[in-house]
A and B are shown apart, each in its own frame.
Chain A
């Protein structure tokens, strides 16, 4: 038994590149899968959503304006940073999800690989979705996918790291910025991911992580007119009609939740998730002599 004092952790939000407490001052107790007390996490409020969307909006033009190559490098850098903290994350997953250490390590590896996988897509999905359109006239006609803007996302409630990465990476790789609400019961890996993002060249405000209750925060994100798309993956198995009605007010892109939370382990078949948060821009350019 060491006579050192405990260095206890305060799990805070990740908002605009900083780590503030909730504006409301609220916290809630986070327990391990076996019921042990782990930490007090910030319980994000309506005004935290407002501030996060503001930060995301501010960061969006700069992030979208970076070259695709550069965004790919930044995502790869996230993988690098995660690689150095594999042990920590595996440990947190054992606590949060109650899985065996071996499974936890596999999840962390899969999460790192998913960052690398999406980093590779950064300058390639345009060719898959866009290109030259054949038109009946003397024009070059080009279509390119462009980021839609600010995305509100509800992270999976079960898979607290791999699921979160599987939701986050495809949103930001194209140049969107995101406000993500974490799993309510398992927020700590997300808080740690925020610490990784803060040290890996991802500009402040590109990813904003709110720990708390999706049921409370999702309607605010859905109704927020400065949010351009909504990823409801984390609402698996619940009725999201109300959220979709709110989202219709400014015609948000909505990714509807699956019937139940899928396994995020299989690598996706293609860049479908990236394109779900893109708009197609088509340009007509006259040609000829």
Chain B
């Protein structure tokens, strides 16, 4: 396995010591070969997955879903029904596994926590002025503490893209560190919003910045900006996580969110995870899908594999 990062990258603590050293480190990261990257992602997407592997992958993909509802019109009732679906995605078939987590806005965390008590399904909450991240640090930290106090054990924060794009990396890093501290025991997922970062080089820099700041997961998108998650951006992020683990020994995860709607897409992402990060990352603690409608297609394909008949949307719940 070839590391993207030079072996003499040195100690990350040293790198993050000052704004200058941070900038030097991030801009010293090797540039991404856009054509090669997109070609690689496209090639891996053509891989044919045969019967048994497909069943295994579909099962795994269901267990990796962060079932998400992030709409202004969300209600406690909608969140409760989403939680019911998270526990038993197909009420008629106990063989279908539960999903990894339910992801909601902070004010609905308490509802989700109550509905998921004793199930082992995590409750994730977006925080820090989601989705734009444009607010003062105080408000972002209060937002985070609120969600954690309400019982969220995973926090999805957004980075300040304005600061990142104008080169104020120190500020972005400080925010991530502060939010991580405010999270306490809760896991922190750092949303890079790759759709706004413009280049793959920036995605790579943002990934390293988020990992250095202590993010347990790096996440592609909020789902509110198009393009959301794509295979090439996920590939760049998986490389960062892989290299980070190789250098520091610290295992972090990746979450692809937004625009993944079909089981076929999900399996393509899993191929990527396996090929780039390695088989160790094929686990809900290390890779997640942020999605809502994806689960229905996964269920339909899961049943197709189990019964041999093509399934129908009539037999899965509407969201």
Contacts and interface: CB of A to CB of B under 8 A. Distances in A.
A245 interface: no
Nearest to B303: A225
Interface in B291-315: 308-315
A249 B312 CA distance: 12
A147 to B, nearest CB: 15
Contacts of B309: 223-225, 246, 249
A50 B310 contact: yes
A226 interface: yes
Interface in A227-273: 246, 249-250
A181 interface: no
Contacts of A50: 310
Interface in B17-75: none
B312 A250 contact: yes
B308 A226 contact: no
Most buried by B among A50, A57, A224, A249: A224
Contacts of B310: 49-50, 53, 220, 223-226
- Max chain B Cβ within 10 angstroms of own Cβ: one of A50, A220, A225, A246: A225
Nearest to B311: A225
Most buried by A among B308, B309, B310, B313: B310
B312 A225 contact: yes
A45 B308 CA distance: 15
Contacts of B311: 225-226
Interface residues of B, number: 8
Nearest to B310: A224
Interface in A38-69: 49-50, 53, 57
B315 to A, nearest CB: 7
B314 to A, nearest CB: 7
Nearest to B313: A226
A195 B88 CA distance: 47
Interface string A133-160: 0000000000000000000000000000
A231 to B, nearest CB: 18
A223 B312 contact: no
A19 to B, nearest CB: 23
A271 B308 CA distance: 36
A249 B310 CA distance: 12
A50 B309 CA distance: 10
Contacts of B312: 224-226, 250
A220 B310 CA distance: 8
Contacts of A220: 310
Contacts of B313: 57, 226
Interface string A212-227: 0000000010011110
A223 B308 contact: yes
A264 B308 CA distance: 36
A250 B314 CA distance: 10
Nearest to A47: B310
A205 to B, nearest CB: 16
A55 B123 CA distance: 37
Nearest to B308: A223
A211 B45 CA distance: 29
A225 B314 contact: yes
A183 B9 CA distance: 68
A246 B311 CA distance: 13
A49 B304 CA distance: 14
Nearest to B309: A223
B184 to A, nearest CB: 47
A146 to B, nearest CB: 16
A71 to B, nearest CB: 24
A53 B310 CA distance: 10
B90 to A, nearest CB: 14
A241 to B, nearest CB: 17
A254 to B, nearest CB: 16
A226 B303 CA distance: 13
Contacts of B308: 223
Interface of B: 308-315
26 contacts: A49-B310, A50-B310, A53-B310, A57-B313, A220-B310, A223-B308, A223-B309, A223-B310, A224-B309, A224-B310, A224-B312, A225-B309, A225-B310, A225-B311, A225-B312, A225-B314, A225-B315, A226-B310, A226-B311, A226-B312, A226-B313, A226-B314, A246-B309, A249-B309, A250-B312, A250-B314
Q: Nearest 6 CB-CB pairs, A to B?
A: A226-B312, A225-B312, A223-B309, A224-B310, A225-B311, A50-B310
Given A223-B310, A225-B312, A226-B313, 16 more contacts: A49-B310, A50-B310, A53-B310, A57-B313, A220-B310, A224-B309, A224-B310, A224-B312, A225-B309, A225-B310, A225-B311, A226-B310, A226-B311, A226-B312, A226-B314, A246-B309
